[in-house]
Amino acid sequence: MIGYANLDGLSLTKVVRDFPGAGIPDIEAAVAEEFSRPGAPFRGIRPGARIAVAVGSRGIANLARIVRAVVRELSARGALPFVIPAMGSHGGATAEGQREVLAGYGITEAGVGAPVVSSLDIVELPAAPDGTRVYMSRDAWGSDGVLLVNRVKPHTDFHGIHESGLVKMAVIGLGKHAQALEIHSHGVAGLRERILPAARVVLGTGKVLGGLGIVENAREEPEILRLVSGEGLPEADRELLERARELQPRLPVDDLDVLLVDEMGKDVSGVGLDSNVIGRMRVRDQGEPDRPRISSVAVFDLTEASHGNALGVGLADVITRRLRDRIDLGATFENVVTSGFLERGKIPLSAESDRAVVEIALRGASVRDLFRARILRIRNTLRLGEVWASDALLPELAGREGVEITGERATLLDGHRLGKF
């Protein structure tokens, strides 16, 4: 193998970061307060009304609690809520696969107090003015009204006025696999330019009563819960996106030789590794971020909640054999091909041991002096409050606001495996 002298002696230091934002201490009370505000979207919520609560595949903090609180508020007003998956092609683009994704987040009838109805059946709506075909879930169309529940955040595929949030869910989420194929068939321009016109068609049906927009802070806590009407949904989505950009977590430094990522996954980011965090988009016609600049990205595992979907693995340079073996090629293939962003589905070099992965990443970054290497280890791209840094990074981090260099140190490798931090 490649071999680096003294690799066994390489230690990293624990760095703790204090991010802005206070978080919402009582989620249930916050949801109840939103439903009690004057002007809350109660049109169509009458005794006996069947209200579809649309829930996506993102790993949102406290998602089951939020959905359960929404169900409780709807039920208290006499409605009969039920949950529908709103996740385009995720879950292998199958009804059962999408049900399993929700169950992995605790979204089951027992968990949230409402039945989960999963189907990929759709109805076709009138086309958008730009010619985009528009679809809606048959379960949503047959309901008395739809309430979207989704996090609003910068997207990992593109940047525009509306990115990941309520507007996108109203289109690709509610439109199921067919709508995902239609939008993605236009490449990144479809995401950037065709979602809002399609959303106006969906909202114009009057079927979408509104949405509960969630903004998280960098500590993965709900910072904002806002209930908006269908009519006010586009403007609220824009406002929440701006706040989400302000709160978005980033790596503590912009220049790295090697980034070591313990795990990637669909519950971490829609693309497994948040492209806004690692500075890699790899989407045709979408420019690469100016920062951070990372020579080698190494990833060691795939989360259980990904159900084998390794979309985004192509953003890495090297992975472990165990990650490769956990990839469900069918689920990954469906998601990658639907998106049209094929680079993100290409499987990188894989190595039998963690040690070999680290060595390949170092070689890929042209590291010659191991103890001057700029190395950062993170759990995943969502949880950045605690990171582990090589000695070469410590002078840059010292004295920085919101950053504490602790005295805790640990060796990077324990034999052929990563050390447990």
Per-residue pLDDT of the chain in tens (421 residues, 90 and over written 9): 557 878 998 999 999 998 877 889 999 999 999 999 877 766 558 899 999 999 998 778 899 999 999 999 999 999 999 999 999 888 888 999 999 999 999 999 999 999 999 999 999 999 999 999 999 999 999 999 999 999 998 877 777 788 889 999 999 999 999 999 999 898 878 888 899 999 999 999 999 999 999 999 988 889 999 999 999 999 999 999 999 988 888 999 999 999 999 999 988 888 899 998 999 988 877 778 889 999 999 999 999 989 999 999 999 999 999 999 999 999 899 888 888 889 999 999 999 999 999 999 999 999 999 989 999 999 999 899 999 999 999 999 998 888 999 989 999 999 889 988 8
pTM for this model (two decimals)? 0.78
Pull the structure tokens for residue 142.
């047959």
- List all residues 6 or more positions away from 248 whose beta carbon is below 8 Å from its beta carbon: 153, 154, 218, 276
Q: How far apart are the C-alpha atoms of 169 and 171, rounded to whole Å?
A: 5
Q: How far apart are the C-alpha atoms of 387 and 166, rounded to whole Å?
A: 31
- 30's enclosing H/E stretch is helix 27-36
DSSP code of 385?
A: S
For the beta carbon of residue 402, count every other beta carbon within 10 angstroms. Answer: 11
Tokens 């709160």 identify what position?
Answer: 247
Domains of the chain: 7-19+249-418 (no CATH), 27-247 (3.40.50.11440)
Amino acid at 283: V
Please spell the DSSP secondary structure of 67-129, one letter per residue. HHHHHHHHHHTT-EEEEEE--TTTGGGSHHHHHHHHHHTT-SHHHHSS-B-----EEEEPPPT
Tokens 């059946």 identify what position?
Answer: 121
- List all residues 6 or more positions away from 354 whose beta carbon is below 8 Å from its beta carbon: 300, 320, 413, 416, 417, 418
Q: How far apart are the C-alpha atoms of 353 and 204, rounded to whole Å?
A: 54
Tokens 């709807």 identify what position?
Answer: 74
For the chain, how big is the Rg over CA atoms in Å?
22
